């Protein structure tokens, strides 16, 4: 008899070739020019789900926010009475590939180099969500059926805030009833170290727009004329102090301090600040509030970051102008117990308060996500940790991440689903950056981890 693991090992090459086909579709969700490609990716995945034996495969249209509105892909297989039901979540949309000239091979032409597969979406998240399909396929073939009930919900708007799936999940649709969810969209703490992620930050993504005059002015009026960019710089400089502490009143009040044993467990993670600074950040220093460890700053404290400031004169040479309008794209990451609505209200009010005289400011919310903290005291997490330890031969560690996956909080809140975040990315995978990659060993052992986990979860009792 072929076990599911045998099957997965025998078909590694085919699995990889199939992933490459998916990676060739440039499903950039933020770019209206790629609308059809995003839908093509959804249709392609639906076809793959059908092919491996899933049922009720369909695209669910979402309203989404402009310019998105990309479909969800749904599928299920529910013929294991008495066994639990798993809901697999992943996203098939990707970040824009720019700057293109920094890629060593084209972003949508998946290329193997040094044991890695390079392509936009290789690890975030096409490669990781595809592991779910391949694990289920291996189980189907090895068992002749599935040992538990399975649902898939895969979205195409994660990288732009995931409004569509959030609205859908909020309606608590009966076809999402499950005992637990599995998400593979995070990273391992270190190469070869099996890792479960149990906390995510939330976010408010905003646009701050300052207007100083009816129209641009000759800068000879400087001194008397208000300047939108100077005013914007003034506002931004008031949001954090020099040590990185956020100055918006009340915003830190709701921040939940991690439990003692979680803080203690972070202390035993293999970590060197110097190496992190050098290899991950590539910066001169690690900044931030030194009352907190680096892990606390990344995982348990909120942030404020500016992403870009469109407007004004940025051409070659010089232009003596006072720009009438200045914009900043800026976001805050939120940590457990903060709410996006409350944070945005305080953020907006504070910006109005510190706005210098003579200009007007508008603060717009582009999208938001709630933070999440996963309770670890449940049989699904324990089974996942055991399966990971078995495959990787080391004790599984529990970490949080500084990034966000908006839907995880919604699955918890609306459907009461405990989420198992079993991710196989690595710190040097360049997600959202040029030369994104996925370590091939992680792709293959990730599939094995998931299918072992499913086999042991199948023997657990579903909530009645
Ligand atoms: N997969 C990432 C989240 C992530 C980042 C996990 C780093 C582990 C390490 C996800 O696709 C992502 O990029 N999320 C966005 C969400 C945002 C647009 C609401 C993020 O964190 O910026
Ligand atoms: Mn992702
Ligand atoms: Mn991402």
- The predicted-structure confidence for 435-450, as pLDDT tens digits, reads as follows 999 999 999 999 999 9
Looking at residues 239-252, what average pLDDT do you find?
Answer: 94
Q: Is 76 in the pocket of ligand 1 (CB under 6 A)?
A: no
Q: What's the whole-number average pLDDT of the chain? A: 96
Q: Pinpoint the alpha helices (H) of 280-394.
A: 294-299, 340-354, 379-392
Mean pLDDT over 181-198 rounds to 98
Confidence of residue 314 (pLDDT cuts 50, 70, 90): very high
Q: How many Å apart are CA 373 and CA 233, to the nearest integer?
A: 34
Q: Where in the chain is the domain with CATH 3.40.630.10?
A: 4-200+371-457
How far, in Å, is the centroid of ligand 3 from the Cα of 123? 9
The confidence score (pLDDT) of residue 68 equals 62
* Pocket lining: 131 vs ligand 1, CB cutoff 6 Å: no
Render pLDDT for 370-379 as a digit per residue (tens, 0 to 9).
999 999 999 9
386: nearest Cα among 419, 420, 336, 433: 420
Ligand 1 pocket check for 124: Cβ under 6 Å: yes
What is the spatial distance between Cα 21 and Cα 44, in angstroms, rounded to a whole number?
A: 9
454: CB partners within 8 A, 6+ apart? 86, 135, 136, 139, 147, 148
What is the fold, at CATH topology level, of the domain defined by 202-255+302-369? Alpha-Beta Plaits (3.30.70)
Tell which CATH classification among 3.50.50.60, 3.40.50.300, 3.40.630.10, 3.40.50.12780 matches the domain 4-200+371-457: 3.40.630.10
Question: Edge-to-edge strand order for the sheet containing 116-118?
Answer: 111-113, 116-118, 437-439
In three-state secondary structure terms, 371 is coil
Q: In what helix (H) or strand (E) does residue 5 lie, and over which residues does it extend?
A: helix 4-10
Q: Residue 153 C-alpha to ligand 2 middle, in angstroms? A: 14
- For the chain, the farthest-separated pair of C-alpha atoms sits apart, in whole angstroms, at 84
Q: What is the pLDDT of residue 77?
A: 98
**CA atoms of 312 and 127, how far apart (whole Å):** 40
pTM of the model: 0.94
CATH 3.30.70.360 domain extents, the chain: 202-255+302-369
Distance 217 CA to ligand 2 centre (A): 43
- Compute the C-alpha angle 133/135/141, nearest 5°: 100
> For the segment 397-428, what is each residue's pLDDT rounded down to a tens digit?
999 999 999 999 999 999 999 999 999 999 99
Pocket test residue of 91, 131, 185, 432 for ligand 1, highest count of atoms within 8 A of CB: 185
Angstrom distance (rounded) from CA 147 to CA 79: 9
Q: Relative to the CA of 162, which ligand 1 atom is closest? A: 19
pLDDT of residue 129: 98
pLDDT exceeds 60 at position 269: yes
Nearest CA to ligand 1 atom 10: 405
């Amino acid at each position: 008899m072929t076990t599911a693991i045998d099957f997965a090992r025998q078909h590694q090459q085919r699995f990889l070739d199939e992933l490459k086909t998916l990676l060739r579709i440039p499903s950039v969700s933020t770019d209206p020019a790629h609308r059809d490609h995003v839908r093509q990716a959804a249709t392609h995945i639906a076809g793959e789900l059908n092919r491996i034996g899933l049922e009720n495969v369909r695209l669910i249209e979402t309203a989404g926010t402009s310019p998105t509105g990309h479909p969800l892909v749904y599928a299920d297989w529910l013929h294991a009475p008495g066994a639990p039901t798993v809901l697999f979540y992943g996203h098939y949309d990707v970040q824009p590939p720019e700057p293109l000239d920094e890629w060593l091979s084209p972003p949508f032409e998946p290329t193997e180099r040094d044991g890695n597969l390079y392509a936009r979406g290789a690890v975030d998240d096409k490669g990781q969500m595809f592991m779910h399909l391949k694990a289920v396929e291996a189980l189907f073939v090895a068992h002749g059926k599935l040992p538990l009930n399975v649902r898939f919900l895969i979205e195409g708007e994660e990288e732009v805030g995931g409004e569509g799936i959030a609205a859908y999940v909020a309606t608590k649709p009966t076809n999402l009833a499950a005992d637990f969810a599995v998400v593979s969209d995070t990273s391992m703490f270190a190469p070869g170290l099996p890792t479960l992620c149990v906390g995510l930050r939330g976010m408010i993504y905003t646009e701050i727009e300052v207007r100083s005059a009816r129209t641009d002015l000759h800068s000879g009026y400087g001194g008397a004329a208000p300047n939108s960019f100077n005013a914007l710089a003034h506002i931004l400089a008031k949001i954090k102090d020099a040590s990185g502490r956020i100055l918006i009143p009340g915003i830190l009040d709701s921040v939940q301090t991690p439990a003692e044993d979680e803080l203690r467990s972070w202390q035993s993670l293999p970590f060197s600040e110097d190496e992190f600074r050098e290899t991950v950040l590539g910066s001169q220093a690690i900044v931030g509030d030194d009352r907190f460890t680096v892990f606390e700053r990344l995982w348990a404290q909120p942030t404020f970051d500016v992403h870009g400031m469109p407007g004004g004169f940025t051409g070659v040479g010089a232009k003596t102008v006072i720009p009438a309008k200045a914009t900043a794209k800026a976001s805050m990451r939120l940590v457990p117990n903060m709410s996006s609505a409350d944070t945005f209200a305080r953020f907006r009010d504070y910006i109005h308060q510190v706005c210098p005289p003579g200009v007007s400011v508008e603060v717009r919310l582009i999208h938001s996500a709630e933070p999440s903290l996963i309770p670890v005291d449940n049989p699904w997490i324990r089974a996942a940790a055991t399966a990971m330890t078995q495959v990787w031969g080391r004790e599984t560690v529990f970490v949080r991440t500084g990034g966000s996956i908006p839907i995880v909080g919604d699955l918890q809140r609306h459907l009461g689903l405990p989420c198992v975040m079993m991710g196989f990315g690595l710190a040097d995978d360049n997600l959202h950056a040029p030369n994104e990659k996925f370590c091939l060993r992680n792709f293959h052992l990730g599939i094995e981890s998931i299918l072992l986990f499913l086999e042991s979860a199948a023997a657990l009792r579903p909530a009645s």
